[in-house]
Structure 1
Amino acid sequence: MPPDSAPAGLRLTPKQKRNLSLSLLFSAIIYLGFALAAGKQSLLNAAATLGGMGWLLILCCSFSNYLLRFLRWQYYLRCLGHHLPSLLHFNYYLAGFALTTTPAKAGETIRSLYLKNHGVPFKHSLASFFCERFQDLIIVTLLASLALLSFDEYRYFVFITALTLLILLSVLRNKKLPLFFRQLGNILHILWLRRVLEHLARLLESAHALLQPRRLYSGLLLGLLAWSVQGLAFYFILATLNSALPLSMSLSIYAISLLAGALSFIPGGIGATETIMYLLLSQAGVDHSLALVIPIISRVSTLWFAVVLGLLASVNLSLGKATAIK
């Protein structure tokens, strides 16, 4: 297909629609619990205090986060030899957010299905996705390390996470790792497992090309800018609601909450991220009702804003003939 043409849009299967609906229901229950505990008026007052310009600024920060992360994603695919029209590619990237909160395994890897129509093999798109997520963990852990200035009791959590990621990075950059998985597959003599290990070896070979110093540091820089902008939005929310904390403490609270959500292995970190954010805000001296309201505002303007953009991008891409996601 010509590089400038968009492939047929992808539509959600009934199962994926059900999973998305369940994640929305689960989140609504959690946020309702937070809102009831804080008091309806506290939530309404906080939303009103931010005002239209405040909400716009927060959403612009979130969009800047997605844009910077897309630039990193696009850079990695170009490093692997794939050049797509930027606007169309950005739509693919945003569409990946539509299933961020679902239990289904597709999640953001739905981008691979779009990119396959442009000749991008799964091993390349999945390798880019893997490197992107791994770098995000490194960056969020780096921001979380600011907690050492404010929360002594979390130093071991941050230290162990950082050490684990450094060890993993060292292992992943080892050129012999793909060979190890291939040899393991040959030893086991199990056909399906051999195929899985072969796919993993190919993914790691592609990922290895993206973890070379220049590409690694470029990706980390873009990621650091992206997550710092998002952290500043969180700081703005606190300051606007008269709950200002030192910038380092605000960034660390936001980062630790995201890290806890990621390590919980719950899709989107729903429930885990909000709970940790509330506990840390309370520990930092933020008023009880605001400590309950702020996580709701933060997550609506980040996670759920991304889901909405993802759904809109999916609809935009589906204006042509739809193809069900298998």
Structure 2
Amino acid sequence: MTESQCAPAERRSSLISIRRLLVFVFLGVVVYMLLGLYARVDQVAAALASVPIWVLPIMMVLSFLNYGIRYMKWQYYLHRIDVRLSHSDSLRVFLAGFTLTATPGKIGEAIKGYFINDLNGTHVARTAPLVVSERVTDLLAMVILALVGFGLGAESTEQMETLMLLGGIVLVAAVILGRRELYDRLLKKLTSLGPLKRFSDSCDVIEDTMARSLGPRPMFVSTAISLPGWFMECLELWLLLSILSGAGLPSLQISSLVLLLQATFIHCAASVIGAVTFMPGGLGTYELTSMLLMTKLIGLSDPVAGAATILIRFVTLWFSVIVGFIALGLLSRRIRHVRTDKGQP
């Protein structure tokens, strides 16, 4: 059995560790302390206290709807590459990947490939590349949502140009990754170098996975699935902004729907910028972009914009990491049972 097939526990534990989590939490605390100091801590705290407690459970439900829709895309990808898992195992793997959501570009979620290897022996090179397909189609969906929100709820042509540029870059990257002949030579050249040589035998498997998951049809289908998933988070921000701006609860009135479009633009634009800057979890870049757009587009004060940013990040980022660790505990127990059944230590 090869090293990649064995998927040593040491390698996984080096990725998922309390130390790394604490570093990420520390970075988050620093970011939010700076945000609070800039927006005045006492006023940010007052704005946070003005949000009714029942708002958080509703936002969490919307986050779970997001997870459920994105899980459908995950299942679609597994079907495309002929990997079969029970729904219970697949869901555990999918959610456990959230433990590494805070890695740059969420690339750490590739660890799902090791989890699947432990469950049914599928080569890691077959499944790990799916994280690239997930991120590309997530970004495409967010760019589309941001453009829709911009077209009806924003005002700056500079923002439009930036989004179109980012969307174009993501689309070109998706086309390149989805066409085997365009990157075949590059991949084989890279895996002929030093530390990457150990992946040379996996080139064909990686190429096949990328072609199956990012070809024109799967890219269209998976992006279409991503749209309603990420829109759930836009609804969360809409709810927050409606309350914090003094507009009341969301409704079908024109002013409230315009706020929904603005919330969609703000959240998706900030998420895209946070992703392309490759900061862990988009920390710092999302917050800065979000606050800037909230104050410029909606006219919120810095403290209110800071409070909205802190709450939306708690439910869309930190909550997902918590869910990921709960799922990881359940998955670890399941993997131990599988190993016991196979007579493995």
Above 0.5 in TM-score?
yes
- Aligned-pair distance for 1:8? 11
Which of 279-288 and 116-125 deviates more? 116-125
SS where residue 203 of structure 1 aligns? Answer: helix
Matched, 1:208 2:211: yes
- What is the aligned-residue RMSD (CA, Å)? 3.0
Q: For 2:203 and 2:21, locate their aligned partners in 1 and report how far apart those are by CA, in whole Å.
A: 28
Matched, 1:242 2:238: no
SS where residue 52 of structure 1 aligns? Answer: coil
- Aligned-pair distance for 1:61? 0.8
CA-to-partner distance for each residue in 1:35-74, whole Å, 9 max, x for gaps?
Answer: 3444444444444433232111111111111111111011
Q: For 1:257 and 1:73, locate their aligned partners in 2 and report how far apart those are by CA, in whole Å.
A: 24
Which of 27-36 and 172-181 deviates more? 172-181
Q: For 1:134 and 1:261, locate their aligned partners in 2 and report how far apart those are by CA, in whole Å.
A: 14
Q: Is this contact kept in 2: 1:253–1:281, CA < 8 A? A: yes
Q: For 1:207 and 1:63, locate their aligned partners in 2 and report how far apart those are by CA, in whole Å.
A: 28
**1:151 matched residue in structure 2:** 156
Q: Is this contact kept in 2: 1:139–1:224, CA < 8 A? A: yes
Q: Is this contact kept in 1: 2:16–2:99, CA < 8 A? A: no
SS where residue 318 of structure 1 aligns? Answer: helix
Q: For 1:183 and 1:99, locate their aligned partners in 2 and report how far apart those are by CA, in whole Å.
A: 28
1:305 to 310, 316, 319: 319
Letter of the aligned partner of 1:181 in structure 2? L
Which of 106-115 and 312-321 deviates more? 312-321
**2:27 matched residue in structure 1:** 26
**2:84 matched residue in structure 1:** 83
Letter of the aligned partner of 2:175 in structure 1? S
**2:300 matched residue in structure 1:** 286
Q: Is this contact kept in 2: 1:140–1:259, CA < 8 A? A: yes
Q: For 2:135 and 2:220, locate their aligned partners in 1 and report how far apart those are by CA, in whole Å.
A: 15
CA-to-partner distance for each residue in 1:93-152, whole Å, 9 max, x for gaps?
Answer: 111111222579972122111101212222221232111111011111112223354222
Q: For 1:43 and 1:36, locate their aligned partners in 2 and report how far apart those are by CA, in whole Å.
A: 9
**1:68 matched residue in structure 2:** 69
**1:271 matched residue in structure 2:** 284
- Aligned-pair distance for 1:264? 1.2
- Aligned-pair distance for 1:185? 6.3
Matched, 1:135 2:137: yes
Q: For 1:174 and 1:49, locate their aligned partners in 2 and report how far apart those are by CA, in whole Å.
A: 51
Per chain length, whose mean CA-contact separation is higher, i.e. which structure has more relative contact order (CA < 8 Å, sep 6+)?
A: 1
Q: Is this contact kept in 2: 1:112–1:122, CA < 8 A? A: yes
**1:3 matched residue in structure 2:** none
The gaps in structure 2 that reach 5 residues or longer are 1-6, 248-257, 340-345
**2:116 matched residue in structure 1:** 115
Q: Is this contact kept in 1: 2:99–2:325, CA < 8 A? A: yes
Distance change in 2, residues 1:135/1:102 (3 Å) = closer
SS where residue 128 of structure 2 aligns? Answer: helix
Distance change in 2, residues 1:103/1:169 (3 Å) = closer
Question: What percent identity do the matched residue pairs reach?
Answer: 25
Distance change in 2, residues 1:196/1:181 (3 Å) = farther
Q: For 1:97 and 1:57, locate their aligned partners in 2 and report how far apart those are by CA, in whole Å.
A: 20
Which of 153-162 and 197-206 deviates more? 197-206
SS where residue 269 of structure 1 aligns? Answer: coil
Letter of the aligned partner of 2:311 in structure 1? I
Letter of the aligned partner of 1:84 in structure 2? L
- Aligned-pair distance for 1:216? 2.3
Q: TM-score, normalised by structure 1?
A: 0.85
Q: For 1:179 and 1:8, locate their aligned partners in 2 and report how far apart those are by CA, in whole Å.
A: 28
- Aligned-pair distance for 1:183? 6.3
The gaps in structure 1 that reach 5 residues or longer are 1-6
SS where residue 261 of structure 1 aligns? Answer: helix
Which of 115-124 and 59-68 deviates more? 115-124
Matched, 1:170 2:193: no
Q: Is this contact kept in 2: 1:77–1:124, CA < 8 A? A: no
Q: For 1:120 and 1:95, locate their aligned partners in 2 and report how far apart those are by CA, in whole Å.
A: 18
- Aligned-pair distance for 1:278? 0.6
CA-to-partner distance for each residue in 1:152-173, whole Å, 9 max, x for gaps?
Answer: 2212211211222222233223
**1:257 matched residue in structure 2:** 270
Paired residues in the alignment total 315
**2:343 matched residue in structure 1:** none
Q: For 1:265 and 1:185, locate their aligned partners in 2 and report how far apart those are by CA, in whole Å.
A: 21
Distance change in 2, residues 1:114/1:14 (3 Å) = closer
